[in-house]
Amino acid sequence: MAINDLKARGIAQAMGVKVIGTLGIIRLAKDNGLLKEIKPLLDELRKIGAYISDELYKRILIDVGEG
């Protein structure tokens, strides 16, 4: 299940449902060769108001080889 709402994620996980958020989907797309780079997408998400902490931003870029 793709979901970003923290409360809903907790409920879904408690029910045994595997959840993934926007960043997880973007990372899967990069890992599977569907995206060449994710930094522009992360930057655009931040620009339109999505909260991505600096720590998570840096970590995901390092994890996918863009950091």
End-to-end CA distance of the chain: 28
Distance CA 22, CA 44 (A): 13
Residue 12 has what pLDDT? 87
Distance CA 15, CA 48 (A): 32
pLDDT tens, residue by residue, 11-46: 888 999 988 889 999 999 999 999 999 999 999 999
Instruction: For residue 40, give every residue at least 6 positions away whose Cβ sits within 8 Å of its Cβ, in sequence order, or none.
Output: none
Residue 9 has what pLDDT? 83
Residue 1 has what pLDDT? 66
Residue 7 has what pLDDT? 86
Residue 19 has what pLDDT? 86
Domain boundaries along the sequence of the chain: 6-63
Reduced to 3 states (helix: H, G, I; strand: E, B; else coil), residue 62 is helix
Reduced to 3 states (helix: H, G, I; strand: E, B; else coil), residue 20 is strand
